[in-house]
Amino acid sequence: MLVKDVMTPNPITVRPGSDPLAGVAICKSGGFSRLPVVDDDGKLIGIVTENDLKLFLSTAPSPGVMKRQHRMDQVMRSPAISISPDYPLEEAARVMVKHNITGLPVVDETNHLVGIITHSDIFAQLADTLGAETDSLRVTVQVPNRPGELAKLADRIAQAGANICSVVTHCAIDCDKEDGRINLTLRLEGTTLDDIASVIRQDPAVEILYAWQRKSPPPEANGA
């Protein structure tokens, strides 16, 4: 999954000479927490958050009568941290975590803005990948970190008549070494926990860590 598959294309933008007060209004009306700042050619030159704008307006002196208004380039962060549309989604997540930010402008090779991606976009895609809205069975197993282990496991699951909808791998014990172990979280359909557990346990090198299947709809927000 790439950034371009999840990003919001052609986001709302502001110019460096825009009024910060107008920026706050745009954020409120559109439900945005950040606005990319672009030049006349559509190239990214900065980014401004709603919090930055509010803080600036609460502390900045009045521009005064007959003087120029405050400008967005007084508030924006420049250069803005950005990402390419052809980068993997996990790279966008890594950059956000590294810089403690919740959104990234997406630019092409000429630095023209083509989209924006947020942590909410990534969370939504992760939930979809893991089948959060389905009643599929999720099973996490630990296997030796050696070639062919996933293929062997998949073959046994297929012989049991089950279908693997998604697989997520994550490090367990010395997972960077040949004698290490890795965890696999499988989303399965067409089976029960008892049936699939008996199949998986045919290989003593594979350990079932936990299993989960939603038995009732998740709680809905009450709007409070």
pLDDT tens-digit map of 165-204:
888 888 777 777 777 899 999 989 888 888 888 889 889 9
Relative to beta strand 44-49, strand 34-38 is antiparallel
- Are 141 and 121 part of one and the same domain? no
Query: Is residue 131 in a domain?
Result: no
At 36-69, the pLDDT tens digits run 999 999 999 999 999 999 999 988 877 665 455 7
- Are 15 and 122 part of one and the same domain? yes
- Are 120 and 194 part of one and the same domain? no
User: 3-class SS at 89?
Assistant: helix
When pLDDT is cut at 50, 70 and 90, the band that residue 219 belongs to is: low
- Are 120 and 142 part of one and the same domain? no
| Beta-carbon count within 10 A of 139 CB | 24
Q: Which residue, 94, 126, 158, sits at the end of a domain?
A: 126
Q: Give this prediction's pTM.
A: 0.74
- pLDDT > 70: what percent of the chain? 91
- Are 81 and 21 part of one and the same domain? yes
Query: Is residue 150 in a domain?
Result: yes
Structural domain containing residue 143: 137-212
Q: Which strand (E) or helix (H) includes residue 104?
A: strand 103-107
